[in-house]
């Protein structure tokens, strides 16, 4: 477990952005694909629809859309960036890093550092912490941090439990001196003994893609839903409470709670267990489903653009995902 408190003069969020594909997949569409009744999907997940990428769209395309929106709000150009990090578990390809594709398409300066982070659905919070630490040196001045995933490409059409949950999208932030929201503290943790709860077993060096692995469906995402719920109750909820206590913050001090949008019913339970009123929990899961590493930055962008954040407000980002991993970030609006 790593906990980092922001240094004097720490950087903050200058701009946020998000992008989702135009293709809407309603619960009725999912019923046609999976056989799960649309009423059951809504009852069990609170998801009404999600967005899926078009065949010609890859993760980098979504990431670029979110990046341009964040750069626009921040009022800086891509040429001013010194760092680009993309958090994703669905890269365009195993190599090169999707961040390099994004950096090139945005037109960053030659020599700008660009790399990927894979902590599955916690990826954005991990990448955000890394970027903030790197910016506290003498350079670079600005960093672009993106969470982007295209989960529709790795879902098994026969897995009724997962195909209804996931959507595609990207969210981004630009970090720099000052900023709309200052990062106060972050905590990153992994629980590797539980790594089997979520994963894509095929396609790597352990099980390279072959006719056999494809026939067995090893290229598809799998998740132990009950095990994930137990993980959240055992590690995430207590971890959030401990994180707040260590920062001298109570649940009542949190103005905006931005959790990973895993499942609407799961979020309702988390809110209750944490003692954070549901009206202070920001959600996009009903419209977009679970967008992996993109879910926290997409939801943060919706919060920022809603105009409901006022100076002094504390915002808590809380992500959890495969690994198993947990990333927490506390921010204060300037």
- Which tokens in the block code for residue 13? 């969020």
260 is catalytic: yes
Rg (CA), the chain: 19
- Could you tell me which residues are beta bridge partners of residue 163? none
- Which tokens in the block code for residue 271? 């809110």
- Which tokens in the block code for residue 234? 């055992």
- Which tokens in the block code for residue 210? 């072959």
100 is catalytic: no
What are the strands, taking DSSP E only, across 113-193? 113-117, 143-150, 168-177, 181-190
Q: What number of CA atoms fall less than 13 Å from residue 308's CA on the CB side?
A: 14
- Could you tell me which residues are beta bridge partners of residue 4? 186
Question: 28: buried, middle or exposed (CB in 10 Å: 19+, 13-18, 0-12)?
Answer: exposed
Catalytic residue among 256, 263, 290, 302: 290
Q: What number of CA atoms fall less than 13 Å from residue 312's CA on the CB side?
A: 1
For tokens 């977009």, the residue is 288
d(CA 325, CA 264): 20
235 is catalytic: no
Listed in sequence order, the residues at least 6 apart from 203 whose beta carbon sits closer than 8 Å to its beta carbon are 94, 209, 213, 218, 219
Catalytic residue among 121, 247, 256, 302: 121
Catalytic residue among 100, 256, 260, 263: 260
d(CA 15, CA 11): 12
- Are the C-beta atoms of residues 320 and 173 closer than 8 Å to each other? no
Closest CA to 144 of 170, 110, 172, 185: 172
| Terminal Cα-to-Cα distance of the chain (whole angstroms) | 28
Catalytic residues: 121, 260, 290
């Amino acid at each position: 477990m790593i906990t980092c408190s922001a240094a004097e003069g720490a950087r903050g969020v200058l701009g946020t952005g998000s992008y989702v594909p135009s293709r809407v997949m309603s619960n009725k569409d999912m019923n046609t694909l999976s056989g799960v009744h649309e009423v059951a999907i809504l009852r069990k997940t609170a998801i009404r629809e999600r967005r899926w990428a078009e065949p010609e769209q890859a993760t980098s395309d979504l990431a670029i859309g979110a990046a341009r929106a964040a750069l626009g709000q921040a009022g800086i150009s891509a040429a001013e960036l010194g760092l680009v990090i993309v958090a994703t578990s669905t890269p365009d390809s195993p190599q090169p890093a999707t961040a390099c594709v994004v950096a090139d398409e945005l037109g960053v300066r030659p020599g700008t550092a660009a790399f990927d982070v894979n902590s599955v659905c916690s990826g954005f919070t991990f990448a955000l912490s890394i970027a903030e630490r790197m910016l506290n040196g003498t350079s670079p001045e600005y960093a672009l941090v993106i969470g982007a995933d295209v989960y529709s490409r790795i879902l098994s059409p026969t897995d009724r439990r997962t195909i209804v949950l996931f959507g595609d999208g990207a969210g981004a932030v630009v970090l720099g001196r000052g900023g709309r929201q200052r990062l106060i503290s972050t905590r990153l943790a992994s629980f590797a003994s539980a790594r089997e709860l979520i994963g894509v077993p095929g396609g790597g060096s352990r099980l390279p893609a072959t006719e056999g692995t494809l026939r067995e469906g090893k290229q598809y995402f799998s998740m132990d839903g009950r095990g994930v719920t137990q993980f959240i109750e055992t590690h995430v909820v207590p971890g959030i409470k401990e994180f707040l206590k260590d920062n001298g913050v109570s649940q009542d001090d949190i103005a905006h709670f931005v959790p990973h949008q895993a499942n609407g019913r799961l979020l309702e339970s988390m809110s209750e267990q944490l003692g954070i009123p549901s009206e202070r929990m920001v959600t996009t899961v009903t419209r977009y489903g679970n967008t992996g590493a993109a879910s926290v930055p997409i939801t943060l962008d919706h919060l920022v653009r809603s105009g409901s954040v006022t100076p002094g407000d504390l915002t808590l980002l809380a992500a959890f995902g495969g690994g198993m991993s947990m990333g927490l970030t506390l921010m204060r609006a300037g």
